[in-house]
Amino acid sequence: MKARKTVTQKHLSHFKDQTSLYGQLFVSLHTRQGNLDLFFQHESTIPPPAMKMTNDDKSALYHCIVESISTAEETVDDLELPPTAYDVVVIDGGALIHTMPPRPSCSTFGDYADTVFLPRLRSELRSSDRVDVIWDRYFPMSIKASTRSKRANEAGGGTRQRVAGNAKMPQGQKHWSQFLADSSNKDELFKFLSTEATKASFPDCKDVYLTSGACVLHIGPGDEMKEQSNHEEADTRIVLHVIAALEKSSSILIRTGDTDVLIIILSQFSRFYSMNPALDIWMAFGSGKNQRMLHINRLHEIIGQARCHALPIFHAISGCDTTNGLKTKGKRMWWNTWNNHTDVTQHFLAVAECPFNALTGEHSTAVEDFICKLYDKTSTTSEVNVLRMNMFCQKSQDVQRIPPTHDALQLHLLRAVYQASIWYTSHQPMLSNVSPCSFGWTESDNKLVPVWTLGSTATQAFKLTVKCGCRKKCTGACSCQKENIVCTPLCKCPCLG
């Protein structure tokens, strides 16, 4: 069996292929007196070489944010200790379930509910008056479908299994992960657990809220959450539950392990504060030994309101679950560039002020200039097409290390605006029904896929790979003559001899 290539080998192979291709293109372009400026306005391949196909360093942004605390706090005495009890605990249900595999004694899903899930809710109620569990939903035409498919493959592929009280549970961490890799399994499991909770008993005067599809199920004496929601992600729906809780409560703990939730909560903090100035929000990020308690009030104060509000679009542009990042440009590099060029913040905020509207005019120009600084901090140009040419000719012939074209970047920004707009409007129960196909995606094989570029590749635009194999002087059958272009040194004919 043929050995699989390592990541380094794949990178080297891609570099050689791209360098060889661009070398041939340059020869053809020079001979045919092509325009070099126009040449770099086209991508060499689709998808663009500069675009990451996976985003595996999302957590790096979490570390950049958390390090803000360490920088601001001068002594150990300055560090705040979290409360021992809260008015409300809001739980990212999907993250919770991944940390609670079935016990060996759990033979059915009913056993799992009775001996694992419900006891956890009762445990949370010992130090709180209200617990909210928010589940993800799974829509067939979703911008997150490709990310979920990738995670399912990493887990060994999802195994479809019926969920019911008397149905057998998958045993062991491996089979549990494979079970959770199937969206239909999770959807059934989440609804089953919510329903089982409504049949259970909880301490008097305590409230439990659990999402179930578009609705919220409730056990306890508190007010119902009657308004339905079309949110797909628990990440955004958590905001609705925080808002509901702040009507009568001030102290809130959010349990999650997702950087997206941290970004959203920080961006919505000023809204929360306007509702209840006495609020005190903490986040238990991660689980087990890796869990860290974050004081959202303090984080918001340290980072600043404007920058916190700009975090969603920054996160989406630099690469999240639904948008591509840029190769060789990790989150920390993006963060450091933002630290050095904070003036771009006001242009990021244009998305917060007008969600689901493309960045245009000075805002688009400023963000493109920011991308140029990301690639070359000494750059004097604010146009990625110019920087592409300068970097390729003077610094690196690896096309993965030069920025994408203006065309590809604008489509990327459209996708980022769409995702960030969902986060910015997470306080609304019913999110906008604007189609992602108006923001850089298209439907293909019943899936949403990115539109990488609206133009053609350099090869197609300049017919640069057209070369003849004529052994004698070219005639009407020559492939170059058929395209009405001159032969180049790459041709086998003697025309240039």
Query: Which CATH number fits the domain that encloses residue 244?
Result: 3.40.50
Residue 22 pLDDT greater than 80, yes or no: no
Residue 78 pLDDT greater than 60, yes or no: no
CB 399 within 8 A of CB 49: yes
Say how far apart CA 183 and CA 187 lie, in whole Å: 6
Q: Note whether 145 and 212 are same-domain residues.
A: yes
| Per-residue pLDDT reduced to its tens digit, 336-364 | 999 999 999 999 999 999 999 999 999 99
Choose between 334 and 152: higher pLDDT.
334
Residue range 432-454: mean pLDDT, rounded: 94
Determine, yes or no, domain membership for 268.
Answer: yes
Determine, yes or no, domain membership for 96.
Answer: yes
Q: Which of 181, 172, 193, 173 is nearest to 154 (CA)?
A: 181
Q: What is the mean pLDDT of the chain?
A: 89
Residue 156 pLDDT greater than 90, yes or no: no
CB 106 within 8 A of CB 112: yes
With vertex at residue 207, the alpha carbon angle to CA 204 and CA 209, rounded to the nearest 5 degrees, is: 150
Predicted TM-score (pTM) of the model is 0.89
Residue 300 pLDDT greater than 70, yes or no: yes
Q: What is the pLDDT of residue 84?
A: 95
Determine, yes or no, domain membership for 17.
Answer: no
| Per-residue pLDDT reduced to its tens digit, 30-63 | 666 666 778 888 888 889 999 998 777 788 999 9
Q: Note whether 242 and 261 are same-domain residues.
A: yes
Choose between 36 and 23: higher pLDDT.
36
Q: What is the pLDDT of residue 189?
A: 97
Residue range 83-106: mean pLDDT, rounded: 94
Q: Note whether 351 and 365 are same-domain residues.
A: yes
Q: Note whether 362 and 434 are same-domain residues.
A: yes
DSSP bridge partners of 131: 89, 208
Determine, yes or no, domain membership for 5.
Answer: no
Q: What is the pLDDT of residue 482?
A: 84
Residue 276 pLDDT greater than 70, yes or no: yes
Choose between 349 and 14: higher pLDDT.
349
Choose between 8 and 174: higher pLDDT.
174
Residue range 419-423: mean pLDDT, rounded: 98
Q: Note whether 261 and 333 are same-domain residues.
A: no
Q: Note whether 352 and 435 are same-domain residues.
A: yes
Beta strands 215-219 and 207-212, pairing class: antiparallel
Say how far apart CA 314 and CA 420 lie, in whole Å: 8
Q: What is the pLDDT of residue 21?
A: 62
CB 294 within 8 A of CB 282: yes
Residue that is last in its domain, among 279, 304, 329: 304
Q: What is the pLDDT of residue 76?
A: 43
Q: Note whether 200 and 250 are same-domain residues.
A: yes
Q: What is the pLDDT of residue 474?
A: 87
Q: What is the pLDDT of residue 29?
A: 66
Determine, yes or no, domain membership for 81.
Answer: yes
Q: Note whether 437 and 477 are same-domain residues.
A: no
Q: What is the pLDDT of residue 71?
A: 67
Q: How far is CA 328 from CA 109, 401, 437, in A?
A: 44, 7, 28
Residue range 178-204: mean pLDDT, rounded: 95
Domain count, the chain: 3
Range of the domain at 81: 61-304
Widest CA span of the chain, in angstroms?
95
pLDDT category of residue 323 using cuts at 50, 70 and 90: very high
Residue that is last in its domain, among 275, 304, 333: 304
Residue that is last in its domain, among 277, 304, 331: 304
Determine, yes or no, domain membership for 4.
Answer: no
Instruction: Give percent of the chain with pLDDT exceeding 70.
Output: 88
Instruction: Give percent of the chain with pLDDT exceeding 90.
Output: 67
Q: Note whether 40 and 158 are same-domain residues.
A: no
Q: Note whether 203 and 248 are same-domain residues.
A: yes
Give yes or no for a cis peptide into 47 (omega within 30° of 0).
yes
Determine, yes or no, domain membership for 217.
Answer: yes
Q: What is the pLDDT of residue 481?
A: 84
Choose between 362 and 10: higher pLDDT.
362
Q: Note whether 348 and 436 are same-domain residues.
A: yes
Determine, yes or no, domain membership for 293.
Answer: yes
CB 404 within 8 A of CB 50: yes
Phi then psi for residue 58, to 5 deg, are -55, -35
Q: Note whether 235 and 99 are same-domain residues.
A: yes
